[in-house]
Amino acid sequence: MSARERMREVKRELEQLSVEAMKLRDDYEKGNLRLEEYLAERFRLEVLHTARAISALRRAFRMG
């Protein structure tokens, strides 16, 4: 896989997580989630987003 293809994969993964975060916020704003549920899920998504971003970048630059 070329570096360009790996970077596209990274971008795709990060975009997917951003969409999930936007859906979560929309659910909260519509009243489908309590504040505690929203914050817990948002934290989980942030941790997941960070871990996937680091992993994807390591793969893209073949660092592990």
pLDDT tens figures, 15-64: 888 899 899 999 999 999 999 999 999 999 889 888 888 887 787 787 76
What pLDDT does residue 44 have? Answer: 92
Q: 47: domain range?
A: 3-60
Number of Cβ within a 10 Å radius of residue 10: 19
With a CB cutoff of 8 Å and minimum separation 6, the contacts of 60 are 3, 6, 7, 9, 10
> Structure pTM?
0.68
Distances (CA, A) of 25 to 2, 47, 62: 35, 16, 34
Residue 58 to residue 33: CA distance in whole angstroms = 35
The pLDDT of residue 38: 95
- Cβ pair 60, 3 in contact under 8 A: yes
Give residue 64's pLDDT. Answer: 60
**Number of compact structural domains in the chain:** 1
DSSP code at position 9: H
